[in-house]
Amino acid sequence: MARIALASFARAGEVNSSPQTWYTQGHATLDDSTLFLEKFGGQVLTTFAETNVMMPLHTVQSISSGKSASFPVVGQAKASYHAPGNDILVDVNLDTTTGLDHLQAAAQGSVTELQDIRHNEVTIYIDGILTSSVFVHDLDVAMNHWDQMSVYSEELGRALAKAFDVHVMMTTLGAAEVTTPTITGGNAGETIVDADFKTNGASAVDTIFTIAQKFDEKDIPKDGRYIIVDPATFYKIAQQTDLVNKDLGDGNGDFPSAMVRECAGIKIVMSNHLPSTDLSATELLEVANTSVNTNMPYLEGYTDNNWSNTAAIAFHKSAVGTVKLMDLSVQKEYITARQGTLMVARYAMGHGILRPEAAIAVDIA
């Protein structure tokens, strides 16, 4: 039988400096495994929901089985005047009996009024199972004087929430780099350069208005627009009195509370998860299973995966999508040979680009 190697794990009582005195607090080993798992799992789910920001801001589709999901993408229709006597259902361009081509038919005012609405389909694959785990030794639980399980469960939830946010944001930044529209004749992604975006609140506000203008020019719906910024930028924007002035806007923000909800109709979301460093392919491969999904934009890189100049990402909820096969869950296994419990939080999801025209990146250079 092959030997199973257990990865190194942190002992709660272990110290890395001078020896410490352990104080027994009367903790007993946790025998009620059912209650133990329910408490632990609940904490992971709560922490995930509290620290994750991207889940409700984009398109998510759940599947019960399979390795991928298809997202339909539909283009825009056009309008035309009806010519008296014309049959709307007759397409003279396809009627060989008339002998007319498109231009000749148009000259005679007999072009069909039916619209050829363009369609496309985007397939998003599951990236694999993303896990965050911890091994808890019975002796640590018994001798610890702090709620070890609660702290560990929160950390597992934060780890998964951050990974989800980072992957969706990478995908959205990838959408902004796409130069080929999803639908023929459509629009592509875009990047705006504002060297002062992160240091000058007024400049950031001007750029957000420019983004709103570009979204309008691309016919992006007004409802469901967001921009992700880091905390430093958020508080610079929150100091712009025009945004929080109750005489100019109805409850859009509050200066004493450093709160601002939106600018130019775009909801402002603060997050520490916005990619802002140079991430190599090697680093990204460590958090993704490319054997399952070889088309992950944050791995292939519509750029070189260098986001060191990234200041913000603005998008509509239709810009990117997530396919969810296995929702966040917690597994537990007591390992007698190791005298402890292995706890694993996990999910299986995948991310992809749907409408690149609905994503605009902001760079500082």
Rg of the chain taking only CA atoms, in angstroms = 27
CATH number at residue 298: 3.90.1690
User: What pLDDT sits at residue 80?
Assistant: 63
Q: Which domain holds residue 136?
A: 33-73+120-363
Higher pLDDT, 311 or 116: 311
How confident is the model over 199-215, as a mean pLDDT? Answer: 96
Total of domains in the chain: 2
Q: For residues 226 and 289, state if they share a domain.
A: yes
User: What pLDDT sits at residue 183?
Assistant: 73
Domain presence at residue 283: yes
Domain boundary among 90, 116, 142: 116
Q: pLDDT band for 39, please (50, 70, 90 cuts).
A: low
Q: What is the pTM of this model?
A: 0.71
Q: Cα–Cα distance between 174 and 301 in angstroms, integer?
A: 7
Burial level of 203, CB count in 10 A (0-12/13-18/19+)? middle
The residue assigned the tokens 């100091």 is 239
Q: Which of 14-23, 48-57, 229-238, 250-259 has the highest mean pLDDT?
A: 229-238
User: What pLDDT sits at residue 150?
Assistant: 74
Query: pLDDT tens for residues 265-287?
Result: 999 999 998 988 776 554 443 44
Domain presence at residue 26: no
Q: Cα–Cα distance between 280 and 66 in angstroms, integer?
A: 30
